[in-house]
Chains A and B, each alone.
Chain A
């Protein structure tokens, strides 16, 4: 039965990224009738993998965090009884910071990291303990207090050595696409906790294992998953959202939850005429995060050394300059990068931040980027070029094509503090029954962040439902 009085679904979720899948699972498990519609032919968004010539590559996300006791991913896995089904390995050190002068490992045990820091940075090593103690302090307001700080302010508060500060900030730059002077301290701190202090986890077999397991469980809970099914429109009447259009068919739903790009949600699916002018102005001025260029290499033999760890190479310490040059990246200015060797030692994923540019730019430059990038990887693996059996790359346009993220943005909105936490991007006050979830609804916090948002979006909706007659 369809129609406003008897909607077909309790909730339709647009997009099967991690946030949409987590949200869908909580709602379906609570007994709601839920549909997830995904435009791509597989679930996961940035958290998926592809196989070419026998090599399985993670597409973008290549490890995850937040799996400690009480971590959000641990909670999600336990709530859906996935912790027993999916073998998770934690690679230790989760991250290795390399410069021409230093090598620092971030171990799961911070005391071990402190020992590593003691020789190169004798005055700073113990400061790292204080820094970690602050980050792991669960008190509600310790973070709220640094709301208008930048991540640079936070690092300056604890450390003096500029080289060390840049090294600690570099994975935050990599996982948040902003240098410390622009990154909000709140988001920077969250990334440091969830990616570095509690990072390095990996589902055996590839990142897709997690997305597929969530998609399967969702269906076992009675949820319906439609793949290759882009949503064309969100139906709005008098400020009330009442369903979506998929494949030219109206699907009525009590709630619509968008796990896709906020611009797409508001401008294309809802439509400008339903948006207050003030919000429209804000939306038009919001800055997206940078995109990325990802290189995938299949090797002729296993390279087990440091396999599973995220290796961060920074040739110099000026992250501000690094950010400016990333925003106008050409194949001639590839220098810093992140590289990860797959646990079996045979696949390499490496990435740099890059601007969206236009199609002709990437058509003309894709190969040049690949070749130049491989030359730079020789800083870590000197004979890499002789061992490559297969090479592939994803440009910002590839990122956009598979996920429809605005300008191929890697992390949703740029994590500057002026863009932090506007509730209208999560539950727009002018559109009843619409929620947004995922990295466009607040800020880019990686897999733990979007999983949290999926959980929170679902529990908020379920709380409301309890108090409202259905």
Chain B
């Protein structure tokens, strides 16, 4: 899965949780300041990402996601790790 596809999917998830139109959500958009994501919504986004990509986001990683781009990077990294585990096993 390319990072562009993932980005589009993540924007759609964030649009769903935040109520903002996907067109308004840019990679550099700040979750809290630009998209009005509060703590409940941050958790909703993480839960939705875990469900969609069957990944598990570590609690310590959650505070590191502050923009849409960082979210995409985190998901891509977790998916890659997942692939590597599959290849090895």
- Which A residues lie at the B interface, using CB under 8 A? 140-149, 186, 420-423, 426-427, 429, 442, 452, 459-464, 467
**Besides the known contacts A141-B62, A142-B63, A143-B42, 19 further A-B residue pairs in the complex with CB atoms under 8 A apart:** A140-B31, A140-B42, A141-B39, A141-B42, A142-B39, A143-B43, A144-B39, A144-B42, A144-B43, A145-B62, A147-B43, A147-B46, A147-B62, A149-B59, A420-B43, A421-B40, A461-B19, A464-B19, A464-B21
What are some 24 contacts across the A-B interface (CB < 8 A)?
A140-B31, A140-B37, A140-B38, A140-B42, A141-B42, A141-B62, A141-B63, A141-B66, A143-B39, A144-B42, A144-B63, A145-B63, A147-B59, A148-B59, A420-B43, A422-B47, A422-B48, A423-B44, A423-B48, A426-B44, A442-B40, A463-B20, A467-B21, A467-B24
Q: For the complex, give the distance between the alpha carbons of A149 and B59 in Å.
A: 9
Name the one of B18, B24, B44, B62 contacting A421, with C-beta atoms under 8 angstroms.
B44
Q: For the complex, give the distance between the alpha carbons of A379 and B16 in Å.
A: 51
> What chain B residues lie within 8 Å of A459 (beta carbons)?
19
Q: For the complex, give the distance between the alpha carbons of A467 and B21 in Å.
A: 7
Nearest-CB residue, chain A, relative to B20: A463
Across the A-B interface, give the 7 residue pairs with the lowest CB-CB distance, nearest first. A460-B19, A141-B63, A467-B21, A463-B19, A143-B39, A144-B62, A144-B42
B17 within 8 A of A: yes
Name the one of A140, A142, A145, A422 contacting B32, with C-beta atoms under 8 angstroms.
A140
B42-61 vs A, CB cutoff 8 Å, 1 = contact: the mask equals 11101110010000000110
> What chain A residues lie within 8 Å of B19 (beta carbons)?
459-464
Q: For the complex, give the distance between the alpha carbons of A144 and B47 in Å.
A: 11
Interface majority SS (helix, strand, loop, mixed), chain B = helix
Q: When the two chains form their complex, are residues B51 and A422 in contact, meaning their CB atoms are under 8 A apart?
A: yes
> What chain B residues lie within 8 Å of A429 (beta carbons)?
16
Q: When the two chains form their complex, are residues B43 and A186 in contact, meaning their CB atoms are under 8 A apart?
A: yes
Q: A442-B40, A460-B18 are in contact. Are A144 and B46 (CB under 8 A)?
A: yes
A438 to chain B, nearest CB (A): 14
Q: When the two chains form their complex, are residues B47 and A423 in contact, meaning their CB atoms are under 8 A apart?
A: yes
Q: When the two chains form their complex, are residues B43 and A467 in contact, meaning their CB atoms are under 8 A apart?
A: no
Q: For the complex, give the distance between the alpha carbons of A423 and B19 in Å.
A: 12
Q: For the complex, give the distance between the alpha carbons of A424 and B44 in Å.
A: 10
> What chain A residues lie within 8 Å of B32 (beta carbons)?
140
B86 to chain A, nearest CB (A): 23
A422 to chain B, nearest CB (A): 6
B25 to chain A, nearest CB (A): 11
Q: For the complex, give the distance between the alpha carbons of A423 and B46 in Å.
A: 10
A-B contacts at CB below 8 angstroms, number: 71
Nearest-CB residue, chain B, relative to A140: B32
Q: For the complex, give the distance between the alpha carbons of A146 and B39 in Å.
A: 11
Q: For the complex, give the distance between the alpha carbons of A426 and B48 in Å.
A: 12
A189 to chain B, nearest CB (A): 9
How many residues does chain B have at the interface if contact means C-beta atoms less than 8 Å apart? 26
> What chain A residues lie within 8 Å of B47 (beta carbons)?
420-423
Nearest-CB residue, chain B, relative to A426: B44
> What chain A residues lie within 8 Å of B51 (beta carbons)?
422
Q: For the complex, give the distance between the alpha carbons of A191 and B42 in Å.
A: 18
Q: For the complex, give the distance between the alpha carbons of A328 and B59 in Å.
A: 35
Q: A140-B38, A420-B47, A423-B16 are in contact. Are A146 and B59 (CB under 8 A)?
A: yes
> What chain B residues lie within 8 Å of A145 (beta carbons)?
59-60, 62-63
Q: For the complex, give the distance between the alpha carbons of A234 and B37 in Å.
A: 30
> What chain A residues lie within 8 Å of B59 (beta carbons)?
144-149
Q: When the two chains form their complex, are residues A421 and B39 in contact, meaning their CB atoms are under 8 A apart?
A: no
> What chain A residues lie within 8 Å of B37 (beta carbons)?
140
Nearest-CB residue, chain A, relative to B15: A464
Q: For the complex, give the distance between the alpha carbons of A442 and B48 in Å.
A: 13
Q: For the complex, give the distance between the alpha carbons of A148 and B50 in Å.
A: 13
A75 to chain B, nearest CB (A): 13
> What chain A residues lie within 8 Å of B17 (beta carbons)?
423
Q: For the complex, give the distance between the alpha carbons of A14 and B62 in Å.
A: 35
B78 to chain A, nearest CB (A): 16
> What chain B residues lie within 8 Å of A461 (beta carbons)?
19
> What chain A residues lie within 8 Å of B48 (beta carbons)?
422-423
Q: For the complex, give the distance between the alpha carbons of A427 and B31 in Å.
A: 19
Q: For the complex, give the distance between the alpha carbons of A461 and B47 in Å.
A: 21
Q: By CB atoms of chain A within 10 A, which of B24, B40, B46, B47 has the most? A: B40
B50 to chain A, nearest CB (A): 10
> What chain A residues lie within 8 Å of B23 (beta carbons)?
467
B58 to chain A, nearest CB (A): 9
Q: For the complex, give the distance between the alpha carbons of A423 and B41 in Å.
A: 9
Q: By CB atoms of chain A within 10 A, which of B23, B31, B42 has the most? A: B42
A193 to chain B, nearest CB (A): 11
Q: For the complex, give the distance between the alpha carbons of A290 and B44 in Å.
A: 24
Nearest-CB residue, chain A, relative to B39: A143
